[in-house]
Amino acid sequence: MHADESTYDGTWEVFVNVAKQRDWTDEELTWFIELVHGDLATKERYEGLRRMRVIEKTAKNRLDFVVFVLGLFHLKMAAANAYWRIHVEPKSDRDEPVGLFEYINYLRPKATAEFAAKNGPGFRSMHETIYHATWTDVLECWRVEAKKSRGVDTLEAFAQSNPTWDDIMSMSTSMVDNCLPPQDFGDERERDKARRDTVFENMRLRNQHGLLYLELARAMNYGDVGRILELFPYYIAIFTAVGKDKYATHMIKFYTDLNHVYPPRLREVVLRNWLCNPKGTPDGFRAMDWLQELNNLYTKVVFAGHGPNRTKNLVFKRSVLLQVYRSLQQTIEENFYLTRRTVRHSKPKMTKILQRLQDQLANVDRFTFHAGRSTSTPAAGRSWIIRDAVNEGFGLLVKKKTLYNVVDDNTGEAGEAGEITGEDLGVV
């Protein structure tokens, strides 16, 4: 069908076409539910249509049968971009030896310009950087804790000491207390400089933001929708703090609908269909909007033709044959024993790179409190402060009298990540 989903008319055509294909009558649409997964732009078009058609008589024309489900793939991309806004975008932090930009110089030395760009790096680059930087810091937390509790200087020596599972659990609890912001963290930051250690504070905050992202990604991969919902309040606050008001507003509405508006059976249906598992493996869950973007990739890029043959009519003709083309491609690849049969990257070998980064940072005791320390480079004559996005966001939410309007023609946040590529879809 020829429909421009970036407009209200085009979005309405899509809904009408779906109902026509299902052959639903007006009476059936009074008790049928259609789940629609998408990004902010789709959500705003849908909300606008419902507002404009509220006086219609039938459920079909009012779109009462549509239940919008927040797309987790786009939410994950927004979370990665929020991390970039907090830890990379501030130019004053880029000269800090233990700042994230210094990590990037080791982790992705050929891509520093991409991270310093106005809109930040691509999703895949930011995703991998968050993982590797967080791993580096968590390993250092383990080393500090091992030295404190077992008197060893290296993780290798700690492993050779044969710790029991109870020892590991006890050390993990101690690390959480020491290496993450406590409940009274806001009060700690209000102390006078002589009693503060801003480097230690900043590292605890970066641990918090990195581990929140890793937890979100893992929960999505394993289909743990309960844990995803537990992370919603944190990311609502973070998005509010970094200026992503639309994401925060739509998350609040979706969270409220799930817990206080939808009947129990509808809530269960939404949660059970929030993710899909194309591979059928324990860690193979993917967001439904990820599946939509994958189909878009095959439709508009992989099987869309090349040169003058790449026309709209050809794309429409081939769009209904995607599975046939994919099956043919797989058959040819297997029969001729072709290599490089996927665009998905193998996991990079980061052991040596992370060790080199650890060695570079060894002279900075970044996870031990030193009263009066304001930066890891005293000669710079400045303080290094990372935003406490969670507490800052909750404070802004409390002060707001009204939330951001869920219907707005400006959908800038919805498309700020740029065009989604095959590499982005390969992120797990």
Task: Please check whether residue 386 is in contact with residue 209, taking contact to mean a CB–CB distance below 8 angstroms.
Answer: no
How would residue 100 be classed by pLDDT, with cut points 50, 70 and 90? very high
pLDDT given for residue 415 in this prediction: 40
φ, ψ of residue 181 to 5 degrees: the values are -60, 130
Mean pLDDT for 255-264 is: 93
Among all chains, which residue has been given the structure tokens 């937890």? 215
What three-state secondary structure class fits 34? strand
How would residue 424 be classed by pLDDT, with cut points 50, 70 and 90? confident
What three-state secondary structure class fits 384? coil
The closest of 151, 208, 194, 202 to 366, measured between CA atoms, is: 202
Residue 311 DSSP one-character state:
-
Threshold 0.85, pTM exceeds: yes
For the four alpha carbons of 247, 252, 255 and 261, in that order, the dihedral sign comes to negative
Q: What tens digit of pLDDT does each residue of 10-49 get?
A: 888 888 888 788 787 778 778 888 899 988 888 888 888 8
What three-state secondary structure class fits 408? coil
Mean pLDDT for 323-344 is: 77
Number of Cβ within a 10 Å radius of residue 224: 15
Decide which of 97 and 6 is more confident.
Answer: 97
How would residue 340 be classed by pLDDT, with cut points 50, 70 and 90? low
The CA distance from 373 to 340, in Å, is 51
Q: What tens digit of pLDDT does each residue of 315-329 get?
A: 888 888 888 888 888
Residue 346 DSSP one-character state:
P
Strand partners, 69: 37
- pLDDT reading at 255 higher than 80: yes
pLDDT given for residue 41 in this prediction: 86
How would residue 341 be classed by pLDDT, with cut points 50, 70 and 90? low
How would residue 179 be classed by pLDDT, with cut points 50, 70 and 90? very high
Mean pLDDT for 164-180 is: 94
For the four alpha carbons of 312, 314, 317 and 320, in that order, the dihedral sign comes to negative
The CA distance from 425 to 297, in Å, is 9
Looking only at the bridges linking them, the beta strands covering 286-287 and 66-70 are unpaired
The closest of 197, 189, 191 to 378, measured between CA atoms, is: 197
- pLDDT reading at 221 higher than 90: yes
Amino acid (one-letter) located at 327: S
- pLDDT reading at 411 higher than 50: no
For the four alpha carbons of 73, 74, 75 and 77, in that order, the dihedral sign comes to positive
- pLDDT reading at 405 higher than 80: no
pLDDT given for residue 254 in this prediction: 93
Residue 109 DSSP one-character state:
G
The CA distance from 90 to 101, in Å, is 10
